[in-house]
Amino acid sequence: MVIHFIPEIADRVHYVGVRDPDRRMFDALVPLPQGTTYNSYLVKGEAKTALIDTVNPGFEDEFVERISKVSSVEEIDYVIMNHAEPDHASAISYVLSKNSKANLLVTKRGADAAKLYFNIPEDRIRVITDGETIDLGGKTLRFIVAPMLHWPETMFSYLEEDGVLFSCDFYGLHTAYGLYDDQVPNMIQYAQRYFGEIMMPYKSMGKRAIDKIRDLDIKVIAPSHGPIHRNPESIMGVYEKWTVGETNDKVIVVYATMWKNTEKMVKQLVAVLEERGIEVPVYNLEHADIGEIAKDLVDARGIVLGTPTVVGRMHPLAVYATHLVTILRPPVKYGVVLTSYGWGKGALSHASEILGPTGLEVVGVMEVNGPPSQENYSEIRAIAGSLADKVLLEK
Ligand code: FEO
């Protein structure tokens, strides 16, 4: 492999991460239409060198080759593990096997994870405390414990002299293209999608982390996926809203349909919402991109679920989407369920089972036998009106 360019993102801070444009799925859950990157940074002080995070399995040789363009693996004094998920931490054991002196710096929970997942020996691990600093010689790294972003052991590292925040998964996005935020078209949309898929369940922890770094002079955010934010106010601004669950006049509609009856019901409802000026992204689950659904869940105030009955239960695609809503914990407040059936009911009670514990206020439900009648359409329009009233009242 020929490595041509190792960007220096700040004074003596080198980007040594790798790009994975062909990857299409993460955690067998998150679609990656533009692949992703596994970012890693080498910070060279006058006396010591620190490596911040590593790369996904399979990229070890490329990674070491990139490091060798600006330093060498043997010269590294500290390996910093901001997060233990293998896309960032699996190459730690490879690096330590080629370096006999470096210590691994981790949180207390990170030490357990490093031993469990990567068999890192106890005597190579040094547990940091919240706020602790290390001096590299003219470069000071401060560690900020920020758990559940996105596993329990996560932390940020902050380079004081240059104002660089190494935030690991937080503030990241999945695209293999563009080194800096201003080189990625629709950067915020990709960031929102990523937030919905990965950070939304932990948004209260995200808010806590933001409060911890609020007084730092952050000039650059260097996350572990996607572009480096040299205009950090942009990503920080939207995270301020998303982590507190700020919603818009928006209702997301997800539905499955077998013989178009559920779809007819959904379309009737959508028409009313749109007449009221509400933003209504609509997803037919037969070909929907789950990442786009996650993106719209980040700031939608209402949700509509449409599903036919299949053998007394919801359609399996609707089950999947509904389960996603329960685990992603979006800030959505109001819901409507529209179901249809041929000869036996069941989808509506199944939906209630799953959505009941979410705390969603169900504004209206319908269960229609066969094709919807004119009377059914009138009822749907009434339900849509009630939903619109609720959504618009939040202003
Ligand atoms: Fe990119 Fe949670 O790992």
106 and 197 both lie in a single domain: yes
| The token pair that represents 178 in the structure block | 């563009």
The per-residue pLDDT for range 204-251, each reduced to its tens digit, is 999 999 999 999 999 999 999 999 999 999 999 999 999 999 999 999
* pLDDT at residue 309, rounded to an integer: 98
Residues 287, 186: one domain? no
Atom of ligand 1 nearest to the CA of 86: 3
Whole-number Å distance, alpha carbon 85 to ligand 1 midpoint, is 5
How far is ligand 1, taken at its centre, from the CA of residue 47, in Å?
30
User: Do 258 and 304 belong to one domain?
Assistant: yes
Strands, DSSP E only, in 201-322?
220-223, 251-255, 282-284, 302-310, 313-314
The type of residue at 244 is: V
CATH number (domain holding residue 372): 3.40.50.360
Query: 395 lies in a domain?
Result: no
Is the shortest distance between the CB of 88 and ligand 1 below 6 Å?
A: yes
**pLDDT over threshold 60, residue 38:** yes
Q: How far is the CA of 337 from the centre of ligand 1 (A)?
A: 34
Residue 2 has pLDDT above 60, yes or no: no
Burial 365-378 (b: 16+ CB within 10 A, else e): ebbbeeebeeebbe
Question: Which residues make Cβ contacts (< 8 Å) with residue 257, sequence separation at least 6?
Answer: 263, 266, 284, 286, 306, 308
- Which atom of ligand 1 is the closest one to the Cα of 150? 2
Q: How confident is the model at residue 1 (pLDDT cuts 50, 70, 90)?
A: low
Neighbours of 210 (CB within 10 A): 17
Q: Within this chain, do residues 283 and 234 fall inside the same structural domain, yes or no?
A: no
Residue 49 forms beta bridges with which residues?
A: 44
User: Per-residue pLDDT tens for 70-89?
Assistant: 999 999 999 999 999 999 99
Residue 342 in any domain: the answer is yes
Same domain, 91 and 164: yes
Could you tell me the two tokens for 387?
Answer: 């939903």
Structure confidence at residue 395 as a pLDDT band (50, 70, 90): low
Indicate whether residue 85 lines ligand 1 (CB < 6 A): yes
Of 195, 225, 242, the one marking the end of a domain is 242
87 lines ligand 1 (CB under 6 A): yes
226 and 201, same structural domain? yes
> Does some domain include residue 27?
yes
Domain boundary among 224, 242, 260: 242
Q: State percent of the chain over pLDDT 70.
A: 99
State the pLDDT at residue 34.
Answer: 96
158-193 as b/e, with b when 16 or more CB fall inside 10 Å? bbeebebbbbbbbbbbbbbebbebeebeebeebbbb
In this structure, is residue 394 part of a structural domain? Answer: no
Phi then psi dihedrals of residue 128, to 5 deg: -90, 160
* Residue bearing the CA closest to ligand 1, atom 1: 169
Both 267 and 222 in one domain: the answer is no
**Residue identifier of the C-alpha nearest atom 3 of ligand 1:** 85
If asked whether residues 79 and 185 sit together in one domain, one would say yes
User: Residue 250 has what pLDDT?
Assistant: 98
Domain end residue (candidates: 242, 266, 299): 242
Please report, for the domain that includes residue 57, its CATH number: 3.60.15.10
- Specify if 1 maps to a domain: no
Per-residue model confidence (pLDDT) at position 356: 87
Whether residue 161 sits in one domain with residue 125: yes
Residue 109 lies in a domain: yes
Give the pLDDT of residue 4: 64
Contacts of 61 (CB under 8 A, 6+ apart): 1
Q: Are residue 99 and residue 136 in the same domain, yes or no?
A: yes
| Residues facing residue 377 across a β-bridge | none
Summarised one tens digit per residue, pLDDT across range 276-333 is 999 999 999 999 999 999 999 999 999 999 999 999 999 999 999 999 999 999 999 9
Domain containing 348 equals 251-389
C-alpha 330/C-alpha 294 separation (Å) is 9
Number of domains present in the structure of the chain: 2
pLDDT in tens, 260-279: 999 999 999 999 999 999 99
Q: What pLDDT, on a 0 to 100 scale, did the predictor assign at position 26?
A: 92
Task: For residues 105 and 70, state if they share a domain.
Answer: yes
Task: Kindly state whether residue 3 falls inside one of the protein's structural domains.
Answer: no
Measured CA to CA, the distance from residue 38 to residue 168 in angstroms comes to: 10
pLDDT recorded at residue 338? 98
Q: What is the pLDDT of residues 380-391, one digit of tens each?
A: 999 999 999 999
Three-class SS of residue 342?
coil
Residue 154 and residue 268 share a domain: no
